[in-house]
Amino acid sequence: MKWTLAGLVIGLLIGLPSAARAVWFRSESVEWQTNVCDDVAIAEVMNTSESELAKEIEQAKDVTKDTPPREIRRTLMVACKITKLLKGRLSGSLSFRQICYLPERDPPIDDQPLRPRDEILIFAVEKPARADQKVIFWVNLTKPDVVQAQHAAYDNDCKWLAKGDAVLKAVQARIDVERKMGKTRHRGLIVDMSLLPNEECYWDFVRTADPEYKAKLIKQLHDSRWPGGQEAAIYNLISYPGQDTINLIRPFLKDASTQEVGSSGATVKVFHLRQAAYAALSLIGANPAKPEGFQPGRPVGLLWSAGFEDRGYFPYGDWQRIDD
């Protein structure tokens, strides 16, 4: 399975549908990548060379978020030349680091090393969070990576895009929407990954917040059968600000549901939906009163701790965040 910026997390993740799901994966659609980046370009790989991660990167606090242990990886420096610009101002040449997994397998289970003359699609930002991260995502158009690979391409509906022309079609359609609506770098949605469900792990998926998806969230908001579903719906509805969304969320300020949270044998009951509703309404700008039983801090649940509110996971985007 694919793991990207979110990394691989082992341990009990509070707020997941099942406590047994202790492994976490995250994938992101190419439409989301288009939305959150400044530049999209087609490039040709000119050459690659073996490289070791710089010592300061190896020792960085967040190294485990996007790199596996040293003993199961190799790194390549990939030099490429821009051949066609689809969005933004990127031009000339640039290089980025590819992390490859060892040993390589046939059939492959993850990204294959890029090779000279490969055509790739690059998603880049003008002001990277770190100097070596101008390229935030890429897709091999010559030979798209397998469905569970780190750089596999998916559309917004979690459909794996197995051919380069399908990737370009999805990305160009998203660029056309951005140009027509004038919307980019907007808050998206974090939903369940519908592809290859696995009871042993929690695999979520990041996509853009298109108008037609709101109806699914409203249905989820009123369905209390799935633990965590209502809180997830509240969280995602933040991406649809407006009075209608405020009216949908406000009743949850008085919801009686509780959830036990804590560690080391000490637990406390929290009105998790009240907490979520308060945070959501605050982010939308509704200025809610603190509900009865309110506890300071972020709401419980994985989305609030590793979602759009955390700049470590989502450094690029123009939406309001809890700590802003």
Widest CA span of the chain, in angstroms? 62
pLDDT for residue 56: 40
pLDDT tens digits along 9-21: 433 344 444 444 4
Task: Tell the residue number behind the tokens 């037609």, with chain if given.
Answer: 212
pLDDT confidence band for 324 (50 / 70 / 90):
low
Q: How many CB atoms lie within 10 A of CB 225?
A: 6
Domains of the chain: 9-181 (2.40.50.120), 211-306 (no CATH)
Does residue 88 have a pLDDT over 80? yes
**Residue percentage of the chain with pLDDT more than 90:** 60
The answer on pLDDT for 111 being more than 50 is yes
Backbone conformation region of residue 297, classed left if phi is above 0, alpha if psi is from -120 to 50, else beta: left
Q: How much is the pLDDT for 228?
A: 87
pLDDT digits (tens, 9 = 90+) for 231-270: 999 999 999 999 999 999 999 999 999 988 875 667 888 9
**Other Cβ atoms closer than 10 A to 285:** 9
Are 323 and 298 within 8 A, CB to CB?
no
Which stretch of 81-85, 138-142, 249-253, 310-314 has the lowest confidence by average pLDDT? 310-314
Confidence (pLDDT) at 197 = 58
Burial 87-104 (b: 16+ CB within 10 A, else e): bbebeeebbbbbbbbeee
Written as six digits, the tokens of 314 are: 């989502």
State residue 323's pLDDT score. 76
Range with the lowest mean pLDDT among 52-66, 170-184, 297-311?
A: 52-66
What pLDDT does residue 5 have? 39
Residue 58 has pLDDT above 80, yes or no: no
Percent of the chain with pLDDT over 70: 83
Residue 101 has pLDDT above 80, yes or no: no
* Helix ranges restricted to H, 76-210: 164-181
Cα–Cα distance for residue pair 292/276, rounded to 1 Å: 13
Average pLDDT, the chain: 85
pLDDT for 191 equals 95
pLDDT of amino acid 11 = 37
